[in-house]
Amino acid sequence: MSDAVLLLAYGGPDSLDDIPAYLLDVRGGRETPPRLLEEVTDRYRQIGGRSPLTEITRGAAVRLQGAVGMPVYVGMRHWRPSIREAVARMAGDGIRRCIAVPMAPQSSEMSTGAYRARLSEAVRETSSPGRELAVTFVESWHTQPHYLEGIAANVRETLSRFPPDRREGVLVIFTAHSLPAFILERGDPYPSQVRETASLVAELLGLSAARWTFSFQSARQDGVPWLGPQIEALVPELAQAGGRDLLVAPVGFVADNMEVLYDLDIGVRRIARDVGVRLERTPMLNDSLALVNALTDVVRSHLIS
């Protein structure tokens, strides 16, 4: 029986010309209002005209394939290659079992649940009787040691950008993508898992409770309550309380994307400048050795089980 790994990622447009089709998929086929299309296009223009996510995920797949010694495929939830295309390719290659790993360490029905649903649909559509693809879906890997250590190493590296006499006063803000607050009523594990990740990284760094905090980011302005606190409001509050050096460490993302390159690097950095605060952000893990080691251990543990 042939085995493989399937890396699942959100996806993003390869060029500005791709944005209308990308948004049509994100919005479930609903037409994109011109104002929203213009806003999203402008944001992508400011970060280089494209999303680096597909390239990063492909790079991680190549390195992971070398580490685990089995084929690694890539499927995007909202772009190409789609999850359905990846499943069809696996079927054509004779793959009978796969371990599906979302490039999202924490679990939520609105994120990893959506990957699981797309994957299940793709398997149903592409399988034939007696040749169904058997899938092991990794729900979360938010406490994986290599993942935690990789973030901690990036925090240490970023702290070195501050003057030596000010490093002890730098406040580390761990962030994750906000989600609608109604997930709390459903007992969704996401809020506790992102905070657990942040706490474990802070422990690795030896940070006291006064040296770090957690916030959500990138909430939509759609009139629905979203999880907080929001970093966009937190930065001015910290400045008013006397904070002047902030280090932002995203833990809910593993790769450069719009929420990092625009929301943090442009949007939140602008807020920090306006209130007289120095703000630095850690590099993302992307396709680094730390991330590949984490994914390798995740795959191997599921192979054993």
| Range 30-36, long-range pairs (CB < 8 A, 24+ positions) | none
Q: What is the pLDDT of residues 253-267, one digit of tens each?
A: 999 999 999 999 999
Please determine, for residue 77, whether its predicted confidence score (pLDDT) is greater than 80: yes
Residue 1 has pLDDT above 70, yes or no: no
203, HSE (Cβ side, Cα atoms, 13 Å) = 9
Protein fold of 2-141+288-304: Rossmann fold (3.40.50)
Q: pLDDT averaged over the chain?
A: 96
Q: Does 2-141+288-304 match 145-281 in CATH topology?
A: yes
Q: Report the topology of domain 145-281.
A: Rossmann fold (3.40.50)
pLDDT tens-digit series, residues 234-289: 999 999 999 999 999 999 999 999 999 999 999 999 999 999 999 999 999 999 99
Model confidence pTM above 0.85: yes
pLDDT tens digits for range 200-247:
999 999 999 999 999 999 999 888 999 999 999 999 999 999 999 999
What percent of the chain is predicted at pLDDT more than 90?
Answer: 94
The band of 2, judged by pLDDT with boundaries at 50, 70 and 90, is confident
pLDDT tens digits along 147-173 = 999 999 999 999 999 999 999 999 999
Q: Give residue limits of the domains in the chain.
A: 2-141+288-304, 145-281
pLDDT for 273 equals 98
